[in-house]
Amino acid sequence: MTVNTVSTFFAVGTILLGAGLITLALLWAASLVSDRAAAVLEAVAASFDGLGLRLAWVMAVTATLGSLYYSQVAHFIPCEFCWYQRIAMYPLSVILGIAVFRRDESIRRYVLPLAVIGGGLSTYHYLIQQFPNLEVGACSTIVPCTTAWVWKFDFVSIPLMALASFGTIVAVLLLDRPSRRSPAATMEPTTHQEAM
């Protein structure tokens, strides 16, 4: 199994996650104006009932292992921004795991800020990869944050994979909130709007 094969798998996964996240964002926007979209969003959110923590944990572990694969197996050297994103992602794979086994829903308050900060770092890192000429006139061989180690389908790089991972963690935790779970009958049909 070559680095190219693994990267292709991660890139396809990133595209699928990205498509899902964009669909969710559009659905949420539509739900603000359309009852029908709101009903669909409610059904989507209900599908995540009780699964949010587990899915977020699986995502964090997958991202962590992917990151370690790139540095330890493929020998890609993490640049400065890679490290900041690792600082935001790696703890999630541990604390979400503990929360899953303890069924500790309050972990959201700790996980969401980390994931949002990590997503912001990924976004900035991806932008400087897209516009590397903003930096100096030569490509360093040492730790270039501006040049992508992986560039699949002409747009998927490692920080984009990280962004999709952080985005997925945020999305599944917001979709599966304890407050929106049972007793479902007591919930007003309109309360879903604050879910995203």
Partner 1 sequence: MTTASRQTSPRKFPLVPVIFGAVAVALVVTIILTFDSGTVEAFGTPVVTGEALAPLGDGVDAAVGQMAPSVAGENFTGDAVTITNDGRPKMIILLAHWCPHCQNEVPVVQAWLDAGQLPAGVDIYSVATGTSSTRENYPPQTWLEREGWTPPVIADDQAYTVGDAFGLTAFPFWVFVNADGTVAARTTGELSPAVITQIVQSLVSG
Contact (Cβ atoms closer than 8 angstroms) between residue 88 and residue 118:
yes
Contact (Cβ atoms closer than 8 angstroms) between residue 53 and residue 78:
no
Contact (Cβ atoms closer than 8 angstroms) between residue 122 and residue 162:
yes
Instruction: Tell me: does residue 196 bind partner 1 (CB under 8 A).
Output: no
Query: What is the largest distance, in Å, between two alpha-carbon atoms of the chain?
Result: 62
Residues making up the chain, counted from first to last = 196
Q: Which of 34, 47, 191, 193 binds partner 1 (CB under 8 A)?
A: 47
CA quadruple 38, 42, 48, 52: dihedral sign: positive
Instruction: Tell me: does residue 63 bind partner 1 (CB under 8 A).
Output: no
Instruction: Tell me: does residue 33 bind partner 1 (CB under 8 A).
Output: no
Q: How far is the CB of 63 from partner 1 (least distance, A)?
A: 15
Instruction: Tell me: does residue 173 bind partner 1 (CB under 8 A).
Output: no
Instruction: Tell me: does residue 187 bind partner 1 (CB under 8 A).
Output: yes
Q: How far is the CB of 58 from partner 1 (least distance, A)?
A: 9
Over the Cα atoms of the chain, what is R_g?
Answer: 18
Distance of CA 75 to CAs 55, 62, 90, Å? 28, 18, 18
Q: Which of 148, 164, 169, 171 binds partner 1 (CB under 8 A)?
A: 148
Select 44 or 116, whichever has its Cβ closest to partner 1: 44
User: Residue 175: which of 60, 47, 16, 59 has the closest Cα?
Assistant: 47
Task: Give the separation between CA 140 and CA 129, rounded to whole angstroms.
Answer: 13
- Write each residue from 77 to 106 as x if it is in contact with partner 1 (CB under 8 A), else as -, in one continuous string: ------------------------------
* Window contacting partner 1 (CB under 8 A); options: 2-10, 25-33, 80-88, 93-101: 2-10
Select 79 or 88, whichever has its Cβ closest to partner 1: 79
In the complex, the residues that contact partner 1 under the rule CB under 8 A are 2-5, 7-9, 12-13, 16, 20, 39, 42-44, 46-49, 51, 55, 74, 132-133, 136-142, 147-152, 154, 184-185, 187, 189
